[in-house]
Structure formats: C-alpha cells, structure tokens
Chains A and B, each alone.
Chain A
Amino acid sequence: MQIIQPHYHAIARTAQDYERMAMSGVVAVAEPAFWAGFDRDYPETFLDYFKQISEFEPTRAADYGIRHFCWVAVNPKEAENPVLSHQVLEKMPEFFEKPTVLGIGEIGFHKTTKNEEEIFEAQVELAIKHDQLILIHTPHLQDKVRGTKRTLEVLRHMNVDPEKVWIDHVEEHTIRGPLEEGYWVGFTLYPITKCTPKRAVDMLEIYGRERIIINSSADWGPSDPFTLQECIMDYRARGNSLQDAIEVFHNNPCRFLGQNPKFDIKPIRVQQEEVAQPLGSAT
C-alpha cells in the first residue's frame, strides 16, 4: 500500500528509517520545521536549518525513492524569543521559492504565552500574504486544551481560509472545535504522550475521514515512524477496505498538501481490490 508520512522530522532520523519506510510503502514525507532540542541563538542557524530540510534532505530521501517536502517556521517553543523570531521571519519568504517548501509550519503555542501569540500571528499573516499553507502545532499534555482554544480564537480574528490550515496533534478532547470550524486536523501517533494507533482509528470511526491527516511525528525523542503502519493495520483489522485505508493514509495528505501545486502526488484509486481474509479471522 502507498503511504504518505505527512509529519516527519528527517534530520533527527537515520537513513535506516528511509530504507524501512520505503520497504513498507512510504512514497513521500513532509518535514515541518521544529525545535532542535535546544534554543538557537542566531537567525542564521534557522536559515541553515531551512536550507538543510529544503535542499539536502530531498536528496537523502531520493536515495530510497521517497519524495521529501518541507515546511519552514519558527517553532512555538523558540517563538518565546520575539527578537530572534522576527529576524528569521524577515528571511523566510526566500524559502517559499524553493521547489519542495509547502508552507509555514509548525507554528502555534507551546505554553500559550504573549510572545508565542505575537509570533504565531506574525507567521499566519506571512502565510496569508504569500498564499502559503499553514501547519499548526498544538501543545502537549496538560497545556493542550488551553493552547488549542487560544489557537482557534486567534485564527477567528485573522483572514485565513480554514481549508489551508492543518491543526495538528489533536486528541479526543480537542478534535471537535477545529473540525467544526472547517480546519484540517492531524492525529499524531506518539508513544505515551499523544495519540495511539488504536485511538486514532477510534476517532476515524467517530468523526469520519474528511479533513483528517494521520502522522507519526518521528523526531529526536522517543518516537517511531512505523506507528503509522501499525495504525493502518488496526484500521484494516476493523473491516476497512484497502481503498478506505488509501483515502486516509495517502489521499488525504495529497488533498491537503496538494493545495500547494509543488506537492504533485495525486490521490490514487485501486482498480481491483482483492477480497482478503480479514485480519485476525484465521483459526
């Protein structure tokens, strides 16, 4: 099955990930700009990072037949430094011209502070001005509800097209607001602290698959890109067809990311689906 890994921090992963992802059907990854594990001191460090993910990573992925796309942004954690953030934002439009840059992300809140909000708004404005897609991170654990509410409040006062905004890391307690307001939402499969594959399938059963993207968010912490395949297996085991799975794990990312013409991978349809034995039905 062809799979798109829509939220993947390649710079923190080894080539072995690419090899195994290629062997398990991944045809493309999209890499948002994120926190490196420490706060950077210089705007140039961000710019080199953007260069790495927009120029070098596509070549590394290509060795395994995987397309690599990326996003540029000042992440929510480092947005706490507005002076540095504005310096980075000044240079960011240069990267919108790169052939694999899809938009601005991941932006948003970490601790939902005034500084974070200032930089979040500035980046949304920049995206609107340059007609870029927007990828929004929502906070972790106990900060998630407050940060998600504030995210929606901020967006309501800005002239954004909800169809072009992906609000990521939603869980059972934060999914309804973003969906009801017309945004795309992302489920992030992450050991312990975010959503598990089974819970992601539960939410698909409850909310349907429209405007939903599922990703594993592999990064430098305890994370596993193959939770995506685990999720697909559980989704199929609950009786969903191969085409259903393709709609969620390949075609939905195409539909959202494809709003930027640089993402030229198109939704696919299975011509003839074999009637497979349902998983777990063997005696």
Chain B
Amino acid sequence: MLTADKVLDRYYLDVRCMLVEIAATLDRHDRAVADDAADSARDPRLDKVYEALAVLAEGSSTADRSERLLNMFSDLD
C-alpha cells in the first residue's frame, strides 16, 4: 500500500482532471437547459449527481465513498 503522500503524488492530477470534467459536464447541462425553455423539469439523474458530490464534499468521512456512491446510483428496492 502507498503512503498517504504517495497516494496524492500519484493520483492528485487524476482527481483534478476528473473534477474539472464533472464541472464541465454540469456547465454543459446548464447551458443546454438555458437554451431550451421547454426543458424546465429537473432530471432526477441530476439530483443523484449533486447528492454524490455532497458525499465527496464531506470533510471527514469513512473510506467507503465509492461504495456509498455506487449504492446511491443503484436500484436497491
């Protein structure tokens, strides 16, 4: 297993890239909504995305974020 520092050394830029990609996707969606007045209903998939981002934004958490996100995106009923 890598040390905490080495994890960031190795994966920090990956994380940066993925976060920017998420931001760009949300921007893309916002622009599309602004362009299409008829498309006013909020898509429930977007709520899932923001819910997932809230999990990632927790300052301290247990190391099971990926499992929680995958469950969040699953039909569990």
Give A contacts to B, CB under 8 Å: 141, 172, 191-193, 196, 198-199, 202, 205-206
B41 CB within 8 Å of chain A: no
- B23 closest partner in A (C-beta): A172
Please indicate the chain A residues that have their CB under 8 angstroms from the CB of B25 in the complex: 198
| Least Cβ–Cβ distance between A200 and chain B, in angstroms | 10
| Least Cβ–Cβ distance between A217 and chain B, in angstroms | 15
Give B contacts to A, CB under 8 Å: 13-14, 16-17, 20-21, 24-25, 27-28, 31
A279 and B13 CA atoms in complex are apart in Å by 31
Please indicate the chain B residues that have their CB under 8 angstroms from the CB of A191 in the complex: 17
| Least Cβ–Cβ distance between A224 and chain B, in angstroms | 14
The reply to whether B28 and A196 form a contact with Cβ atoms under 8 Å apart is no
| Least Cβ–Cβ distance between A223 and chain B, in angstroms | 14
Secondary structure of the B contact surface, majority rule? helix
The reply to whether A193 and B21 form a contact with Cβ atoms under 8 Å apart is no
The reply to whether A199 and B13 form a contact with Cβ atoms under 8 Å apart is no
The reply to whether A199 and B21 form a contact with Cβ atoms under 8 Å apart is yes
The reply to whether A196 and B31 form a contact with Cβ atoms under 8 Å apart is no
Please indicate the chain B residues that have their CB under 8 angstroms from the CB of A205 in the complex: 31
| Least Cβ–Cβ distance between A227 and chain B, in angstroms | 13
Please indicate the chain A residues that have their CB under 8 angstroms from the CB of B14 in the complex: 192
Please indicate the chain B residues that have their CB under 8 angstroms from the CB of A206 in the complex: 31
Instruction: List 15 A-B residue pairs with CB atoms under 8 Å apart, sorted by A's residue number.
Output: A141-B13, A141-B16, A172-B24, A191-B17, A192-B13, A192-B17, A193-B13, A193-B17, A196-B17, A198-B28, A199-B20, A199-B21, A199-B24, A202-B27, A205-B31
| Least Cβ–Cβ distance between B55 and chain A, in angstroms | 23
